[in-house]
Structure 1
């Protein structure tokens, strides 16, 4: 079995070191495209491009952008080309998935209400995959050399930053093989390039770190999140007694109430544990947010449509704050009671 796995790894192409970043760019471009498309169409009164019985749906423009992204990757080298391909491909996928309601209904209904939940679930699955993305546990020297060459190729026309050069030299490991020595010589021969955004990125990262590492921020964001729970639970229950029983969103609303109740129970339990076991309380509060993100939001988008976007942003912010706090909390490396 191990021999088969080794042979399979040997036949797989080397993974690009920038693949995770590029996929994040694609995901961000797709999400932004869906939101901008829905906003523009609603603002413009849902105009139609075409006439004489013809309607050019924007899924076709999505296909063109996907083809453009693929064409860029097959035609050009370097980091700018990959970023452009990720943006074009993400936008194309966003335009495609935005019309999913037409593909899952017999009447090709763009306004099919569960479509918003399907769109959210699609991007949520992509984001969860990227969050859990891990570099391969074992990288052969050929993989490392290929990555060093990719970095050198990115700097062939513009030069390398100090960080890029150091990374490429570490990957190539000079002195072992002739090909590695050649890669090292190529990397050292490329001119130096200053990164105009490096200082700004460090400043923004430091500001974000200082912000999210303050306990008061975690408490404030958690408080705002918990304030959403009573209206979230109460509104569908109140509507259930009235007109909601006659609508198609009854199932989604019931599921939304159930997810909110589970999230609220976890959050309340976390509140009682906060002083006695802060680390466990933070874990429970993060579990509460994950219930909302991975289950509740799907039904919120179905019932509330894209009005649920604001609440989604708050949940994502809270998840980020809690993740940072969990790494800072005393006992973060210890196994919590009952976790065995």
Structure 2
């Protein structure tokens, strides 16, 4: 049985990544202090284990949706503290500063995120899974803590459940009668406010133009870089020494890593140019191509950036994630506008048909 609540996994990932980065930044700022005297050292992997234990206890002892969210946040923080010390457990000398640790952690989070995403999306929730998730939301109904958001979600789940099951009709009646039993929680109100503001900003014309302008600049830079690379490669092939030296310098002394980063940059650039060519014809197709370019950078280029520069590459990842969120929102908005246009066209055609029938009579 899969959960319909994607917020729990998202909360876990955000909490884990935030904790890991806060630990790294805090230790760097304070000079890596010890939390115990003498010959003792309380490694933060132990605090991570404690956080995961607390999360497990919350899940075993309590039933409310808030408790599950709290467990996801606390467990994510514990996991972030745990995975931060990965370098100590993959090296013979317990080297916390083992440089490939950042790349290993990044790849681990990326693979885990993709696995969770695939589990969510490989097929729609079955009617039975929809009913079970609606029953989970009934906990808040019984406790008198049902928000309007949860009520709407429960009714949507019941609409996908098997209507012949007597539980479906009974739960639907209870949820419909439970309108506005309680005000949204503080967290829900903050989330709704932030979501509304983000929607207004991301849905504005200037924001779409800014995103398009950013990719236009990247596309232009890619075309110029590609032309320069072709000139350098051509010069190398015909024996120009300056071109050979330039190619070796671009290679950076690490053949495999550098070539993979160059290849990923080329693939991302192709997607950007493809999106720019589609921009006038279909914004939806253009945004999808831009999204693929960002995903290529996230999943192919950034692991090697972490390998060479360590956790300093995190800033580029956050920029990519912000672009990815904006592009997905813009795609959703384009689909919504397309559906609305089709609906209006259908109404107009139906009205014209009725008018023509009236005229024929």
8 Å contact from structure 2 (residues 102, 307) kept in 1: yes
Structure 2 residue 215 is the aligned partner of structure 1 residue 222: yes
Out of 119, 124, 128, the position equivalent to 2:110 is 124
**What aligned pairs does 1:144-223 form with structure 2 within 5 A after superposition?**
144-169=130-155, 171=157, 176=164, 179-180=167-168, 183=171, 187=175, 188=177, 192-195=181-184, 197=189, 200-201=193-194, 203-211=196-204, 214-223=207-216
Q: 1:199 to 1:100 in 2, by over 3 A?
A: closer
Partners in 2 of 1:211 and 1:120 — Cα distance?
Answer: 33
Out of 273, 297, 307, the position equivalent to 1:292 is 297
Partners in 2 of 1:17 and 1:280 — Cα distance?
Answer: 28
When you count helix as a share of all residues, which structure comes out higher?
2
Q: CA deviation at 1:215?
A: 3.1
Q: CA deviation at 1:79?
A: 1.2
Out of 7, 16, 35, the position equivalent to 2:3 is 16
Secondary structure of the residue that 2:143 maps to in structure 1? coil
Unaligned runs of 5+ in 1: 1-13, 334-340
Match of 2:357 in 1: none
Q: Deviations over 1:55-87 (max 9, x none)?
A: 221111101111110110000111110111001
Match of 1:263 in 2: 268
Partners in 1 of 2:103 and 2:68 — Cα distance?
Answer: 30
Structure 2 residue 25 is the aligned partner of structure 1 residue 42: no
Q: 1:278 to 1:205 in 2, by over 3 A?
A: closer
Q: CA deviation at 1:120?
A: 1.2
Q: Deviations over 1:123-150 (max 9, x none)?
A: 2223334444228535244x44432321
Q: CA deviation at 1:261?
A: 3.8
Match of 1:337 in 2: none
8 Å contact from structure 1 (residues 159, 191) kept in 2: no
Structure 2 residue 316 is the aligned partner of structure 1 residue 302: no
TM-score, length-scaled by structure 2: 0.71
Aligned residues: 311
Partners in 2 of 1:211 and 1:279 — Cα distance?
Answer: 16
8 Å contact from structure 1 (residues 211, 217) kept in 2: no
Q: CA deviation at 1:291?
A: 1.6
Match of 2:82 in 1: 96
Q: CA deviation at 1:207?
A: 1.6
Q: 1:128 to 1:144 in 2, by over 3 A?
A: closer
Q: 1:159 to 1:49 in 2, by over 3 A?
A: closer
TM-score, length-scaled by structure 1: 0.75
Which segment is superposed worse, 153-162 or 208-217? 208-217
Match of 1:134 in 2: 121
Out of 90, 93, 97, the position equivalent to 1:111 is 97
Q: 1:45 to 1:239 in 2, by over 3 A?
A: farther
Partners in 2 of 1:146 and 1:16 — Cα distance?
Answer: 9
Q: 1:161 to 1:270 in 2, by over 3 A?
A: closer
8 Å contact from structure 2 (residues 261, 304) kept in 1: yes
Q: CA deviation at 1:252?
A: 3.8
